[in-house]
Structure 1
Amino acid sequence: MSGHKENPSSAERNMSSSTLGRHLVACLLNISEAHRKDLVETVAKAALYNSKGVKQERTTVLNIFNDHDYNRSVITIVSSIDSIREAVLSACEKACGLIDMRTHTGVHPCMGAIDLIPIYPLGEEVGVEDCAQEARAVAQGLTERVQGTSAFLFGWADAPLQRGLAHRRNEMGWFKKMPDLQAIKPDMGPQPQRRYGLTGVGASPYVMNCNVTIDTQDITLGRSIAKAIRESTSGGLPGVQVLALPHEGAVEIACNVESVKGDLSSHLAGEPWPSFSIDGQPYCHVPASLITSRVAELAGRQGVGMKDTALVGFTPLECRGLAEFALSHGIAEFWKEHRRIHM
């Protein structure tokens, strides 16, 4: 990108990827814009460079996922725990200046120009409570830096209750077609305004986004499949929160795949579940292949075939591994470079 230098400091060049990895956190920043690619990339770059074009320390943007039907983008920002706050706030400030919820359209539910700021630990020396502390600071910083913004907290950031994202979204009216902003009581900031809407800020073990598209326009069928695989349903998949949404002339089963404590794969048939460690505690998550096969089975019973499966971003292990590579090589705009890099 012209006007920006990406020369890593000697400390960055000499720091081993394993040392970097032990302190890493990820933010999958959800913004309510996908039609204007340049705008989304401008927001991503704001996480990497300050207003003077100076590179943020130990920060990379691994991926930008745009969904035009949803009019929503997910920007994967990875940084050290002591740098993530400024990177995320810088991107949020830029997004608030460019996105106006009064003119937003899209089939995916949303409430804010910056709809979601989840922060996840990637390294052994970072706990979920460390991320929760940063999430609370981000929520406070956003409402102070951008007058008129407001936020609610979820997960570990929602102390002491630690209410989950789906629970908090339901409380805020996120699932309603036309949420009543005047009825909402945010945790931080003023009464939500139509210009910025409302932002969810939280922390938890890593959450993947896995979207499976079935070859039908029958949203009722899609909802029945979503209900069948949802964690809260008997026989559902652990950690899976799911919506069925119309998408590009078909139906998408859009899943948030939460990491769950322990190792559940030994209790369930099929391939081993990917696992990782936080604060010395084991966590695992449902593999995307299992979600896909379960959806395919349920749809097939109704004579409906599959179209495709999309992983929005990465698994926890992929995210950490790519971030270590990007940071050890001084690649800030990794989303531009990864297709040509041989790792």
Structure 2
Amino acid sequence: MKKIIECVPNFSEGRDEKVIGAIAEAIRNTQGVTLVDVDPGKSTNRTVYTFVGDETAIVEGALAGARVAREMIDMRHHKGEHPRFGAMDVCPFVPVAGVTMQECAEIAKAFAKRAADELKVPFFLYEEASDRDYRKKLPDVRRGEYEGLDEKLKDPKWAPDFGPAEFVPAWGATATGARMFLIAYNVNLLATSNQAHRIALDLREAGRGPRQPGKLKDVKGMGWYMDEYNLAQVTVNLNNYKVTPLHVLFEEVKEKARELNIAVAGSEVVGVVPLASLLMAADYYIEKEGLFIYQEEQKIRLAVERLGLNSVAPFNPKEKIIEYIVAEAPDEPLASLSVREFIQEVAARTSAPGGGSASALMAAMGAGLGAMVAKLTQGVRKFEDREAHMQAAIPVLHDLTQSLIPMIDKDTHAFNEYMDGLRMPKSTEKEKTARKAKMQAGLKTAVQVPLNTMRLGEKAWNALCETAKYGNPASKSDVQVGARALETGIWGAFQNVLINIAGIEDEVFKEKTMAEAKAIETRSREKCAEVLAILEKN
């Protein structure tokens, strides 16, 4: 899996468009980096940049931004609502995909060393990159802010991890480290800054102090007034959205605002968010309101609407959800063909695509036909007594259809892996050994792919039985064709398991795989007969 790291540096400039643009351009022009968001704030006089890249590119992107800040930002003239102590105030590295937190901690250290050496400024490590408890939390590292930094650096206890232990007036200091995906989130209030701050004190984990902790864990927050929006905000950092999700914070603010007779006017996400955070919100409102929504796109829309994320600026999921931003086009050349083109590919004088890809297609068509009938039944007034059955079947059949489509290409890819091994040289014993190992690995992959097709297909049977029992009778033939297509797809995948497993020398693998494949194929025939019998009775 490709390594994807997110970097979210906060620079102490949110008003000068020339500086904001220059930093963005430096990051954007770094090879291997994708700049996904630039979020300036005039009141905070601070801009949050979000970009992603691999372990090498992400450091280069952060360095590029820091170099510009060193030249163009002078902290001696900085004023803003947000706590800060440096031109590049904070620079966290966040694991997104294929990378661990510890790896991100090492990346932060590598960046800090290079930046401190080159720019001659102090860098502090925090969160997972720091091994000292008293300076792990960002508020502790930044306590005293820029104005207190000169004295702070004179204390040996607060010597920077990298760079000079001396005050650099134009720069200040920077904190860098590794952390969980932090969501910067603001809830809008038609209120005063004092009222917003009062709510923030009630909710943030630190509360009003050790004797008056707040209600929500892993939440940092305060209240302020945003002149450009002409409203107040409870502004928070959700340090762990799985502990305190977006919707929990939003609903708690609503409750506190209700007690104070204050109006809530939506909310905003600063930067980007993980997909899971919005799906969690959607699931909460779906359950709370008794809704039936199963498509991801509609879930996202529901979350955006309920949280009021469009209230002060448009919320474009493709630009705000990290998984959508970094998503690559699927490697599915076969599944992307027209029906005519796919059939012609199968009919061509080549061994791939062959029966395995065709089997995956048939299984997908089987699940898809079941999904179609269930969807055509659900929501129809004369079938209201069947609504619960259809609502149970639709998400299963819909999701399995989507999951089976990629198997069309995976089968061909698996066969190509075996062929790569077959074409390897075999002149020496070493070459023969490497060739055999490659071919054996290719055969196992060629077995696992159709077996996965069988596993996915099998999961559709119970939902297809429900559709046969309670689906629109006018669509009886569609369910019949769906059942036969699904059975044939599973049977065809089973034949691919049989033909490829014969050449595998790992007897333990063969025995275990065959037992599972035979069981699925047998159950498939039985379930197909069950579906057809149900339809004959109806």
TM superposition score category, shorter chain reference: 0.7 to 0.9
Could you say which residue in structure 2 is the equivalent of 1:267?
none
CA contact (8 A) 2:193 2:224 kept: no
Q: Which residue of 1 aligns with 2:53?
A: 79
- 2:253 corresponding residue in structure 1: 295
1:257-268 alignment runs, 5 A limit: 257-259=238-240
Cα deviations by residue, 1:129-179 (Å, 9 ceiling, x for unpaired): 1001111111111111112x2121110111253722233333xx23x8x43
1:44 is aligned, of 24, 32, 39, to 24
Deviation at 1:316, TM superposition (A): 2.4
Distance 1:137 1:312 in 2: 27
Gaps of 5+ in 2: 208-212, 276-320, 332-538
1:198-227: CA deviations, max 9, x gaps? 1111111111100122222242x3332112
The alignment status of 1:146 with 2:149, answered yes or no, reads no
SS in 2 for 1:189: coil
Give the CA deviation at 1:60: 0.2
Q: Within 2, Cα distance between the matches of 1:67 and 1:209?
A: 13
Query: Which residue of structure 1 aligns with residue 65 of structure 2?
Result: 91
Following TM superposition, where does structure 1 have runs of at least 4 consecutive aligned residues deviating by more than 6 angstroms?
Answer: none
What is residue 201 of structure 1 aligned with on the other side? 176
Alpha-carbon shift at residue 45 of structure 1 (Å) = 1.9
Residue 108 of structure 2 corresponds to 135
Residue 322 of structure 1 corresponds to which residue in structure 2? 325
What is the rounded CA distance, in whole Å, between the counterparts of 2:189 and 2:167 in structure 1?
36
Distance 1:40 1:24 in 2: 25
Compare 105-114 and 230-239 and name the one that shifted more. Answer: 230-239
Select 1:192's aligned residue among 164, 167, 175. 167
Q: How far is the alpha carbon of 1:314 from its aligned partner?
A: 1.6
Asked if structure 1 preserves the Cα contact closer than 8 Å seen for 2:190 and 2:262, the reply is yes
Partner of 1:243: 222
Deviation track 1:288-326 (CA, whole Å, cap 9, x = no partner) reads 232122112112211111233110112123213312249
Higher radius of gyration, 1 or 2: 2
Local SS of the residue matching 2:130 = coil
Structure 2 contact 125–175 (Cα < 8 Å) conserved:
yes
- Contact 2:10–2:88 under 8 Å retained in 1: yes
Q: 2:31 aligns with which of 27, 51, 56?
A: 56
Instruction: Please say if residues 149 and 167 of structure 2, whose CA atoms lie closer than 8 Å, have aligned partners that are also in contact.
Output: no
Show the counterpart of 1:269: none
- Residues in 1 aligned to 2:244 and 2:231: alpha-carbon distance in whole angstroms: 24
Partner of residue 311 from structure 1, selected from 264, 269, 273: 269
**2:141 counterpart (168, 171, 196):** 168
Q: Work out the CA distance in 2 between the residues paired with 1:299 and 1:179.
A: 35
Does the 8 A contact of 2:190 with 2:265 survive in 1?
Answer: yes
The residue type paired with residue 18 of structure 2 is D
CA displacement at 1:91 relative to structure 2: 1.2
Find the aligned partners of 2:163 and 2:117 in 1 and give their Cα distance: 8
Counterpart amino acid of 2:28?
A: L
Q: State the alpha-carbon separation in 2 of the partners of residues 182 and 189 from structure 1.
A: 17
3-state SS of the aligned residue for 2:20?
A: helix
Secondary structure at 1:159 match in 2: coil
Aligned residue for 2:151?
182
| Contact 2:150–2:167, Cα closer than 8 Å, also in 1 | yes
Do the aligned residues in 2 keep the contact of 1:107 with 1:246 (CA within 8 Å)?
no
Matches within 5 A, 1:328-343: none
Structure number with higher strand proportion: 1
Of residues 214, 217, 223 in structure 1, which corresponds to 2:192?
Answer: 217
Say if 2:73 is the partner of 1:115: no
Give per-residue Cα distances to partners, 1:101-123, cap 9 Å, x unaligned. 11112222211111110110001
Other-structure match for 2:235: 254
The one of 120, 126, 130 aligned to 2:99: 126
Deviation for aligned residue 1:126? 0.5
Tell me the TM-score normalised to structure 2 length: 0.48
Report which stretch shifted further, 128-137 or 39-48. 39-48
Q: Distance in 2 between matches of 1:241 and 1:121?
A: 21
* Counterpart residue identity of residue 257, structure 2: A
**Percent sequence identity over matched residues?**
25
Q: Deviations over 1:61-84 (max 9, x none)?
A: 001011111111001010112321
Counterpart amino acid of 2:225?
P
Q: Which amino acid aligns with 2:64?
A: S
Aligned partners of 2:149 and 2:172 also within 8 Å: no
Give yes or no for contact 2:201–2:214 (8 Å, CA) kept in 1.
no
Q: 1:48 to 1:291 in 2, by over 3 A?
A: same
Partner of 1:279: none
Post-superposition shift, 1:44? Answer: 1.6
Residue 236 of structure 2 aligns with an amino acid whose one-letter code is: C
Matched residues, number: 272
1:122·1:316 contact (CA, 8 Å) conserved in 2?
no
Matches of 2:235 and 2:176, distance apart in 1? 20
